[in-house]
Amino acid sequence: MVRSPHYVNQFNNKNYYSEIIDVRSENEFIEDHIPGAINLPVLNNQERVIVGTIYKQSSPFEARKLGASLVTKNISNYLEKYFIRKNKHYVPLIYCWRGGQRSNSLAIILSQVGWKVQILEGGYKTYRQHVRQELEILPLKFNYNILCGLTGTGKTDLLHKLSKKGHQILDLERIANHRGSLLGKEWGKKIDYQPSQKYFDSLLLQKLKSFDVTKSIWMESESYKIGEVYLPSKLWHKMKKSPCLEVQLPLPERVKFLLREYTYLITYPNILKDRLIHLKSRYGKEKIDSWFRWIDQKKWFDLVQDLLVTHYDPAYQKSISKTYKNFEKMIYFADFNSIDIEKILES
């Protein structure tokens, strides 16, 4: 049966759509997209630039001719290599920037095959507006418990132990792909970049929508900025008013934990030096030189301990005293083996 594409304004009904297809260029997709969408550009990065240049500098008509040729070629390739495997019950949701020509070009062809094709009305712009609106409202519907503690107290580990106990957790550092400090961007990974601000928003909203509003969410005591991305203002203000529980561990235990967790500090000493040099204006050449000597001598325990005492602990204490006022309790553990999740959960 020959069908026509159908416009919809819903894009999160996973039980209805077989998959969501973003037909924008690769760069547009990387900047932000609906989580879970796949990217099948009808015009790739280079093609889009070429067509756009001809449109502006030469002739809109010539640009449309070339664009049609390129789009047809790309869609033909997708039909042969991707859509050929889809059965007759396949229901894709397609979107481009505004829900116009690019999404229609693919939707019309797939509809003619006989699939029930949906187009997101207003395209990505509709989706982005939805994200912004939801992040003004949804974070305020939850109650949060904030895990506080100096660097090296294993707050992220504690979060995931709470998750295993069935509690809701929001790991903002994982979403941001950054540990929230000068040395928090892990180098040496295959994926060592942070998401754009827009895609961070998308991932955050997706996670918030998965939570039960009748249950509290456990989080770390983050700053307003994690690496290069910012928290939504409504979430940040709600976090600052939430009850805070501080976990304390002896300094040597924290150093040992960081050496286990931040192995890339040791693996890439030259990159470590490049990061530390940014602190020269604050602590002076003599302090930086001493850190560099410890790196060259592989005195990692001495280095990390002094970084905590000199930089991280004072910075954290200053930040936490300004940000989180609602301290409920402090819990001291002698080492990581003695950490008791049930003790943390006690009211």
Domain boundary among 132, 159, 186: 132
Q: CA-CA-CA-CA torsion for 324, 319, 139, 342, nearest 10 degrees?
A: -60
Total Cβ atoms within 10 A of residue 190: 4
pTM of the predicted model as reported, rounded to 2 decimal places: 0.91
Q: Does residue 148 sit in the same domain as residue 124?
A: no
Q: Does residue 118 sit in the same domain as residue 167?
A: no
Q: Does residue 160 sit in the same domain as residue 119?
A: no
Q: Looking at residue 186, what is its pLDDT?
A: 59
- The distance from CA 70 to its chain's CA centroid, rounded to whole angstroms, is 33
- Domain range enclosing 284: 142-345
Q: Strands 92-95 and 19-22: what pairing?
A: parallel
Q: Looking at residue 334, what is its pLDDT?
A: 87
Q: Looking at residue 188, what is its pLDDT?
A: 56
Is 86 inside a domain boundary? yes
Q: Looking at residue 1, what is its pLDDT?
A: 52
Which entry of 37, 51, 70, 96 is annotated as an active-site residue?
A: 96
DSSP string, 211-251: S-TTS-EEEE---SEETTEE--HHHHHHHHTS-EEEEE--H
Q: Does residue 122 sit in the same domain as residue 175?
A: no
Q: Does residue 321 sit in the same domain as residue 208?
A: yes
Q: Does residue 114 sit in the same domain as residue 219?
A: no
Domain boundary among 112, 132, 152: 132
> What three-state secondary structure class fits 289?
helix
Domain boundary among 114, 132, 150: 132
Q: Does residue 217 sit in the same domain as residue 268?
A: yes
Is 20 inside a domain boundary? yes
Q: Does residue 76 sit in the same domain as residue 150?
A: no
Our count of domains for the chain comes to 2
Take residue 120 and report the two structure tokens written for it.
């997101």
Q: Looking at residue 80, what is its pLDDT?
A: 97
Q: Does residue 154 sit in the same domain as residue 116?
A: no
Is 30 inside a domain boundary? yes
- The distance from CA 206 to its chain's CA centroid, rounded to whole angstroms, is 10
DSSP class of 194: P
Q: Looking at residue 192, what is its pLDDT?
A: 61
CATH code, domain with 274: 3.40.50
* Close Cβ partners of 114 (under 8 Å, ≥ 6 residues apart): 1, 2, 3, 88
Amino acid at 54: I
Alpha-carbon gap, residue 337 to 261, rounded angstroms: 16
Is 90 inside a domain boundary? yes
Is 12 inside a domain boundary? yes
Q: Looking at residue 344, what is its pLDDT?
A: 81
Q: Does residue 106 sit in the same domain as residue 160?
A: no
Is 18 inside a domain boundary? yes
Q: Does residue 148 sit in the same domain as residue 276?
A: yes
Q: Looking at residue 189, what is its pLDDT?
A: 56
Is 305 inside a domain boundary? yes
Whether 92 and 115 have beta carbons less than 8 Å apart is answered as: yes
pLDDT tens across the length of the chain (347 residues): 556 788 887 766 666 899 999 999 999 999 999 999 999 999 999 999 999 999 999 999 999 999 999 999 999 999 999 999 999 999 999 999 997 899 999 999 999 999 999 999 999 999 999 999 999 999 999 999 999 999 999 898 899 999 999 999 999 999 999 877 766 665 555 446 799 999 999 999 999 999 999 999 999 999 999 989 999 999 999 999 999 999 999 999 999 999 988 888 888 899 899 989 999 999 999 999 999 999 999 999 999 999 999 999 998 988 888 888 888 888 899 888 888 888 888 75
* Close Cβ partners of 164 (under 8 Å, ≥ 6 residues apart): none
Q: Does residue 219 sit in the same domain as residue 319?
A: yes
Q: Looking at residue 179, what is its pLDDT?
A: 78
* 148: annotated active-site residue: no
Is 1 inside a domain boundary? no
CATH code, domain with 111: 3.40.250.10
Q: Looking at residue 265, what is its pLDDT?
A: 81
